[in-house]
A and B are shown apart, each in its own frame.
Chain A
Amino acid sequence: MGEDIPIEEKKKSHREKKSGKKAERKKAKKDAQNPNVQELTDKQKNPKAFAINSAIRAERRFRRKQDIDTKKQHVPLVDRTPLEPPPILIAVVGPPKVGKTTLINNLIKMFTKSPLSEVKGPVTIVTGKKRRITLFECNNDINSMIDLAKVADLVLLLCDASFGFEMEIFEFLNICQVHGMPKIMGVLTHLDMIKNRKTLKNTKKILKHRFWTELYAGAKLFYLSGIVHGDYLKNEIKNLGRFISVMKFRPLTWRSTHSYLVGDRYEDLTNQEMIRKNPKCDRNVSLYGYIRGIPLSKNTMVHIAGFGDLRIHEISFLPDPCPLPEQIKKRALIEKEKFIYAPFSGVGGIVYDKDAVYVELGGSHSHKQRDEGDETNIVANLIETKETLDVKMEHSEMQLFTGGKTLMSKDMDVDESEEEEDEPQLYEKNSNKEDDELEAELAQLKSKQISNYKVEKIEDSGRIRRKVVFEESDDVLNEKLAMSEDDDEDEDNDDEEDPEEDDESSEDESVEESKIKPKTQPEYIQLKENKDIGIHSKITDVLKNLNTKKVSEKVSDSTKKVVKSKKEESESDDDDSSDDERNLSKIKAMKIDKFEEVEFDDESDNEDEEDGDDENDDEDDESDDEDSRKDNNSKNEDQASESESDDGEVDLGLKWKDNLAKKAEDAFFERQKSSKNLMKLVYGVFDNKYLKPQDEEIEEDSGDDEDNIGGLFKKISVEQQKLKMEKDKMDLIESTLFMPWNSNIRNWIDPENKLLITNRFVTGKWKESEDANELLKLDDAEDLSDIGSDVYGDFEDLETGEKFTAKTPEAENGDGKGEKRKRDLNDKDDMADRVKLAEKKKTLKEKFDADYDKTEKSTFYEELKSSAEKQAEINRSVFENMPDEMRVQLEGFRAGMYCRLEFQDVPCEFINNFDPTYPLVIGALNMVEENIGFVNVKVKKHRWYKKILKSNDPLIVSLGWRRFQTMPLYSKLEDDMKFRYLKYTPEHVTCNAHFWGPITPQGTGFIALQTCDGSAEVIKHQGFRIAATGVVQELDKSTQIMKKLKLIGYPMKIYKKTAFIKGMFNSSLEVAKFEGARIKTVSGIRGQIKKAASKPEGVFRASFEDKIKASDIIFCRTWYKVDVKNFYTPVNTLLLPAEQKNSWRGLRTTGEIKRSKGIQSQPALDSLYTEIERTVKPFKPLIIPGRLQKALPYKDKPKHSVKDSDKKKQISRVAVIREPEEQKVANMMKMLKASFEFKQGQLKTQTKERLAKYKKTIEDIEQRKSKKLGEIKKDVFRKRSKAELKAQKKANKK
């Protein structure tokens, strides 16, 4: 800071304008402002006085504040993230050709400075002091998308901006939504394809807003502007990287209740011979990955997505292949701490396993130059892999140069204590000098070793891996072995693992003979199986001496000397631990029976005492033998190496002394924690079966030696004893009572016994912190110390007030002051008391604070939050200081551990068709979840899906970890809580569905697809692939889905209110089932089924509330139970060959089958649409009886009056008789009329004729005219043509 100030002073200050327009303006402004400032309102001056002006406003304000506060609150969750969390899984998702691979490559490059040549499967990188990430590219397969959405912590959703969002993106978002939303970050690529600036801006805006509506407003969207030289811009990638590194995550329900792994490596452990015999035999496979979620218990089932359920055969944790830096010293990562781990991508060219090292070669072509090129390459690879060098070098060196395969036990070598030891070393090593040395050594060793390593080829999904096997002469081997034993630092190898390695070491000799080294798996398996057999345990003991572990880097030619000197130094410390393991199995046998004895003694009072005695005995023994131990130790080693050569026959006579160190250690441990005995008592039973023995403390008898010498015989007797014990215990009466029926009880009136429990009663002595007497005194003391001694003048007996305060807590049970006075007060006592007092005061103060001070904070929410925090604290602290092996027992394999899971009987397709680009999601199943039952879900057809879904059509469901095909039955929950069967899903509303599937906790979301076929035409046909989404509601072992059923019958005979109904049932048995059922006629008359009639089968008697008509139809409304088909098949895409992975086919829908076979379904005839033909019905005339007619009022009476037409007819003229005169006239008139009419008629015909004639003449004339005209025309044209011809001729002539 001192330097900064002078620099600042040097800077030229801003010179204000003093004249000119600007200055004037400013001045005016200032003047204008000034008066305002001075004129503050009263409210402004004294806001408190106006705090509550209006009650309503105050209320509103308060409510608003509450609203805002409540909105911010989330349900407090117990924080279960481990201290060292697993790498964050980042899935890079998007349709093809948007630049996913480029992005991953760039990110890797950015974080590690060394890009991978080919990225396959997950890539784990250390990106910061406390953060690792795993990158995974999602291929364009809906199965991969689903699996990744379930495990990804962060999703980079890539989108081609020049094209816009594609369906895949929306599909993926929907998948995410259902399976617990991970953090999603959109990334727009190909922005450089949009040339126009304005359209670029617009598309960005449109895409952003669309993205926001899909996720949430303000969701982060990244822009990668374009590719330069095949890479994205460095700055943009860096920014993205920063965003990733600081991202925070909220726990998701499913993942905080399940543990899971994303496999980043696999190994086929099957015996090569078996594969040779039968290439399709079931395999033993080990998968590796970081545990995520919650701790993984070892005897749970797991589900591998795209494969099926499996039982973990074995699980063990390994040292972290990509560890976080151990100490946080600086802000940035050192270059060496930037690890990268990507076994599928073959990073660094070396892959380490528990029992082997694989060096990757370039492929088939590399064979040709093997003699020279490869050898240098291997080492060159070693040297090149700088990012992993400082830790891996330790293993690699030793594995490559110290000896045979025995030394490749890299998996053993991380222990907590050891890591601590390593820390300083790691930083020392960073100096260049050391590196140079290392390299020099490497070179040196390389020249030595080159001649005698062999390569074993393993074909592995197209890639060739070579197993490195070393051959060495016997003595060299022994040397190395001896050395390795000395350097043996770690204790964390499992019992399971040990024999394997031992076998390996023994194998090496066989290698000498045959010079060809096959992967000798059969022996290993055999040995493992026989583990329980006594002899074998002895063998393993000896073999364990050969246990090879981590070696320091200082391996050089002069190992021998170093080793010897080292041995002497470290013997006392190191051997203990190695012996430790060695003895375990030996002791186990005795141990077990001992515990059983203890267990059923059940004089609980005595147990601990007994144990204590044992310990003491042990100690005595040990101290005696301590001296001889060292001498023997070296002998043992020699012997061990010898015994190794004769493999089976082992002299065990001298071995017992190895126990001594162990005994000492045990005794020590037992003194510290007697708890182990309890654990032993309970869980010791499982030792031989399940538990790994080194996790348990070992109790020993002093008669130890005999056991070992006659081990074989003893063992048998033990077994027999055990059997006998078991038999005795097998059929005991089970009782919850501690002291059943006739056990004797202590007499508690006895004063001696009484003393034991008097203090358990309120009348007894209380704890100091609770005793009212004490508390009262403490209060007094507090007062005294606050105010001083003078206040209480009445305590004049005491010298000072201080002394009095110090004394108070000591005073017990109301002892008199006299006693106090007697005591002489020395200063030390005083100090101690004061401290004690201070503590007490503090606790009291806390209590007081909790009671009174926190009035405001102690809301319900606060309490919940604090209790969650408290629980998290307890969770963290309880197992904190335990060794990992023990912790694993108690809490399982916690998240962040790198674990190896072994599975047996895995179908060979899993290995043969393995493709690292498909995510290997291994999800643990909680209790009951491995079972199958009926799952009742709430489901809604996706609004973008084109079709509705039909009951009993197969559907692919992704639920929990699983993807499976099943046949759902849709239903609707009615108001009477009955599930009514639906044939199709309704549109736009949810309905229920039942299917037979894995039991998954309620509230778990799922998505459904009709097919997961990824072929172009299917996608094109479907458009949007997600058919439905939903959530699990209920699980059961049976279903009650009802379909409406209406039975119809017709009356056969009707008596008053009783009727016999036919046609509803076929037999009297059926009727019997429906006796008492309600029935109803169409006209609404209700009734009841009474009893079956005897004669026509199926007819029954029914009674109605009224007489029914013979034409009535009778209904009986009932329900028919529909069964859900018990069909469930997991989608096993992982087992399919690469080209079929994207096109899994399961059960087809009936529609599909019909379509493929060309079957047209025949419609029911009566459901076809036909024209309605209605015959007209003639009605009979209405006849009203005469009596009725009479009774009717006039207006309703039928009217018999005459019709109008009849009326007309009826009105006939009256006959007129004419006079003769008149008659004549009339005749005359008649005649005249007749002649006139005749004339008229004639005239008419004549005109008609004339007209016709005239028309004819006219026509004739016309005809003639036209004929003439035609002739003329003909003439004219003939002449014209003749003239033309003439003209032509003339022309021709001319």
Chain B
Amino acid sequence: MPAIAKVHNTLVYKGSNFFKQRLVLSVLSGKPVRIVEIRSMADEPGLQEFEVSLIRLLDKLTNGTKVELNETGTAVYFQPGLLHGGQVDHECSTQRSLGYYLEVLLMLGLFCKEPICATLKGVTTNKIDPSVDHVKASMISTLKKFILEDEDLNLTIKKRGMQPLGGGEVVLRCPVRRQLRPVQLMDIGMIKRIRGIAFALRVSPAMSNRMVEKAKGVLLNYIPDVYINTDMSKGKASGKSPGFGIHLHTETTNGIFYSAESISNDVANGEEPSVPEDVGVDAANRLLQEVYLGGYTDSTSQSLAILCMALGPKDVSKMVSGPLSEYTVGFLQHLYEFFGVTFKLENYNSENDEDEESNKVMLTCLGIGYSNLSKRTL
């Protein structure tokens, strides 16, 4: 979805797809962006609640941002300011999970003026976005590869909350860095352990045990080192809506995390209630699917890793990833438009991969030498 026009410095796009990417890249590159025809033909035209919430979050995070919406909300003009960071409290829309917003914070956090300490409230897990556990396990560990010292980069889950009402709360801390470092991420290593967490909120705690049992049943076929916690949240810490789910992640000998999850259906939304056993098996299968796809990051963190590569110093970075997700492909395209970065993409076969249908991708790029312009030097 390339830009339909380029007016002076402003990129003009059509449609609501990749809204988040565009805004994030706009903030990082300092280029204003105009998005038109947002759901102009839909029943509910214009920006939706979660997108407005995202704009609000970006406004809190930056200084000097200008946003112009037209009357129907089908067109947005976004002129980014400079990243500020600091203490941010944000009530996120319950339409999307916190993962949607956390990704933004992780992409921008390193380039703020002050270290981010963000408290986000809303839904912690849904089926569209990576859950907070997912962000914690895979995205943060991915980001750590690009900075020298990863002190103070952490995500704590205070409360969990399921759809539709949410009620979850997380705190993200992210340090400030002047520059990223170039990486050569080629050796993936072998998976040495599987960990996970099962939670049942406002339902019987037995649910989580049932999920764990089944998930383990699948995973133990591959590796004996499987350990899944159960999170029995009570009271306020369990959010406002009932539901349960399980999150699993693997760790390789080289410290790479793949994670996957599965949650129960939203009964309030008219879906039929799901069986915990199915959820457990589904999560395990999803995890194994991630393992199968492989790469230096799991499929969800690809875009974050790619961004960090592109924003690195003027050096060559290399990374092996699994097959590119559609989101990542879009992200690469947007990176090209905002930063002019072209990645060299090749199929990658490591020497001992006998399975010839390996579809890993080797991403090579020359960083643009991005540096944190917000940070103060004394």
Which residues of A are at the interface with B, using a C-beta cutoff of 8 A? 78, 80, 256-257, 294-295, 297-301, 311, 599-600, 602, 604-605, 607-609, 673-675, 678-679, 681-683, 685-686, 689-690, 726, 729-742, 745-749, 754, 756-758, 760-764, 766-768, 871, 874-875, 878-879, 889-892, 926-928, 930-931, 933, 936, 999, 1001-1003, 1033-1038
Contacts and interface: CB of A to CB of B under 8 A. Distances in A.
A999 B286 contact: no
Interface in B312-327: 313-316, 318, 322-327
Contacts of B82: 933, 999, 1035-1037
Contacts of A746: 285, 288-289, 292
Contacts of A879: 316, 344, 366
A299 B222 CA distance: 49
Given A729-B17, A736-B129, A738-B293, A890 B342 contact: yes
Contacts of B337: 686
Interface in B1-26: 1-2, 8-9, 14-21
Contact of A685 (B16, B286, B333, B374): B333
Given A748-B292, A1035-B374, 16 more contacts: A605-B357, A726-B14, A729-B1, A730-B1, A734-B20, A738-B322, A748-B285, A757-B288, A761-B192, A761-B222, A762-B192, A871-B316, A874-B184, A999-B30, A1037-B63, A1037-B64
Which of B2, B253, B293, B357 has the most chain A CB atoms closer than 10 A to its own CB?
B2
Q: Which of B29, B333, B352 has the most CB of A within 10 A?
A: B352
A735 B369 contact: no
Interface residues of B, number: 102
A999 B355 contact: no
Contacts of A297: 340-341, 368
Contacts of B345: 675, 678-679, 681-682
B368 to A, nearest CB: 6
B30 A749 contact: no
Contacts of A685: 1-2, 333
A736 B1 contact: no
Contacts of B129: 735-737
B340 A299 contact: yes
Given A295-B366, A764-B190, A1002 B289 contact: no
B370 interface: yes
A745 B182 contact: no
Contacts of A736: 99-100, 103, 129-130, 300, 303, 325, 327
A746 B293 CA distance: 12
B218 A748 contact: yes
Contacts of B113: 1034, 1036
A748 B327 contact: no
B340 to A, nearest CB: 4
A758 B353 CA distance: 12
Contacts of A733: 17, 128
Interface in B229-284: 253, 282, 284
Contacts of B184: 874
Nearest to A600: B326
Contact of A80 (B314, B329, B357, B361): B314
B86 interface: no
A678 B374 contact: no
Contacts of B362: 675
B127 interface: yes
Contacts of A1034: 113, 375-377
A757 B291 contact: yes
Contacts, number: 260
Interface stretch (B37-45, B115-123, B164-172, B203-211): B37-45
A1003 B129 CA distance: 40
Nearest to B341: A297
A885 to B, nearest CB: 12
A928 B29 contact: yes
Given A1034-B377, A1037-B63, A874 B128 contact: no
A600 B1 CA distance: 12
A1034 B63 CA distance: 13
A735 B342 CA distance: 23
B37 A761 contact: no
A526 B81 CA distance: 39
A441 B45 CA distance: 75
A497 to B, nearest CB: 20
7 contacts: A681-B329, A745-B286, A748-B292, A875-B316, A926-B369, A933-B82, A1036-B113
A736 B307 CA distance: 14
B368 A890 contact: no
Nearest to A874: B316
Given A737-B300, A757-B291, A763-B223, A931 B30 contact: yes
A745 B100 CA distance: 23
Contact of A734 (B21, B346, B378): B21
Contacts of A891: 366
A599 B1 contact: no
B294 interface: yes
B329 A999 contact: no
B282 A745 contact: yes
A608 B2 contact: no
Contacts of B355: 756
B314 A257 contact: yes
The 7 residue pairs across chains A and B that have the minimum distance between CB atoms: A1037-B64, A730-B15, A675-B346, A738-B299, A604-B323, A928-B30, A741-B127
Contacts of B366: 295, 875, 879, 890-892
Contacts of B191: 760-762
Contact of A757 (B15, B39, B222, B327): B222
B30 A930 contact: yes
Contacts of A605: 323, 357, 359
B180 interface: no
B351 interface: yes
A856 B300 CA distance: 43
B145 to A, nearest CB: 15
A482 to B, nearest CB: 38
A737 B322 CA distance: 13
A557 to B, nearest CB: 49
A756 B292 contact: yes
B294 A760 contact: yes
B221 interface: yes
A739 B326 CA distance: 10
A1072 B7 CA distance: 47
A1002 B314 contact: no
A891 B317 CA distance: 12
B339 interface: yes
A599 B326 CA distance: 8
B371 interface: yes
A757 B286 CA distance: 13
Contacts of B324: 604, 678, 681-682
B333 A1036 contact: no
A931 B253 CA distance: 45
Contacts of B81: 1037
A871 B28 contact: no
A768 B359 CA distance: 22
Contacts of A756: 292, 355
Interface string B212-226: 000000100111100
Contacts of A760: 190-191, 291-292, 294
Nearest to B19: A734
Given A682-B329, A736-B99, A294 B314 contact: yes
Given A890-B366, A891-B366, A930-B9, A1036 B63 contact: yes
Given A80-B314, A602-B326, A891-B366, A734 B17 contact: yes
A686 to B, nearest CB: 6
A740 B192 contact: no
Contacts of A758: 222
B192 to A, nearest CB: 5
A731 B38 contact: yes
Contacts of A747: 285
B336 interface: yes
B257 to A, nearest CB: 14
